[in-house]
Amino acid sequence: MNLDLKKLPQHIAIIMDGNGRWAKSRGSLRVDGHYRGADRVDEIVTCCRELGIRYLTLYAFSMENWARPKAEIDALMALLKEFLIIKREKLVKNEIRMVSIGDTERLPVEVLETLRETERLTAGFDKMVLNLALSYSARDEIMRAVNTLLREKEEGKFRDNFISVDRFHEYLDTAGMPDPDLVIRTSGEHRISNFLLWQSAYAELYFSDTFWPDFGRESLCQAIEEYQSRERRFGRTSEQLRR
Ligand code: FPP
């Protein structure tokens, strides 16, 4: 693999998809796919940390996922809690800060407490940020930001009649984080599915046919290699970039 370590994406965001189909293709239960998916989370976090990726955002549970059968939601919540407890030590050892975005107050109380405790324990680290999108939908995030602004305007805390793009970002869950440079979706689906709609304005999109439980280091490096072969023009011309 020929990665240019000077041209790494600063922020990678991943829509981890295909756990269910991976399990079905093996005649196993969907939950087995999620457990194998959690192993890949560990592998990909480790790989990003080793490469020097500064921000990794993982779409772990969407707002829309609350509509899944209760048994699957319960299994995913139990897995999330277990993962947060088991991986804490590794996060601390590798100086990875864990944060979350989304309407996390909707999570079961024991999961939310484990999440907050992991965030608190890792709050002082700055080698890499692992951002979990939980109970997340981009439209919900944007509307919560708009509603906070309306409330602040009403209360006189926000006095201006104009808001800039940069200032609006401070109202989003991702306040303080750079926009993703590379958004990856696994499992052959070519959709964004309500993920980081505002923040992905100029992200490079990469779609892999591989199901998430099979998406390992090599797959990630392939995605980064493809990213590095693209020209990011941000609306300018190629000639302008070469000057
Ligand atoms: C999508 O696959 C995946 C999810 C809804 C959950 C993602 C969860 C994990 C990868 C494991 C736990 C996460 C952490 C952070 C420990 P799907 O179920 O929609 O698959 P399908 O489209 O094939 O049915």
Q: What is the pLDDT of residues 84-128, one digit of tens each?
A: 999 999 999 999 999 999 999 999 999 999 999 999 999 999 999
* Contacts with 68 (C-beta within 8 Å, 6 or more apart), sequence order: 76
Q: Looking at ligand 1, which atom is closest to the CA of residue 83? A: 16
Q: Distance (Å, rounded) from C-alpha 169 to C-alpha 163?
A: 10
Enumerate the β-bridge partners of residue 15. 59, 185
Q: Distance (Å, rounded) from C-alpha 110 to C-alpha 115?
A: 9
Here the contacts of 115-122 (C-beta below 8 Å, separation 24 or greater) are: 115/80, 115/84, 118/84, 118/88, 118/91, 121/88, 121/91, 121/92, 122/88, 122/91, 122/92, 122/96, 122/97, 122/98
Q: Looking at ligand 1, which atom is closest to the CA of residue 132? A: 15
Q: Looking at ligand 1, which atom is closest to the CA of residue 30? A: 18
* Closest residue CA from atom 22 of ligand 1: 18
pTM of the model: 0.97
Question: Can you give the pLDDT at residue 232?
Answer: 80
Question: Can you give the pLDDT at residue 235?
Answer: 87
**151 C-alpha to center of ligand 1: Å?**
35
As for ligand 1, residues whose beta carbon falls within 6 Å of it are 16-21, 34, 37-38, 41, 58, 60-61, 65, 79-80, 83, 132, 212
Q: Distance (Å, rounded) from C-alpha 14 to C-alpha 44?
A: 10
Which residue ranges in the chain fall short of pLDDT 70? none
* Closest residue CA from atom 10 of ligand 1: 37
Tens digit of each residue's pLDDT (9 = 90 or more) over 212-227: 999 999 999 999 999 9
Q: How far is CA 61 from the centre of its chain?
A: 10
Enumerate the β-bridge partners of residue 59. 15, 133
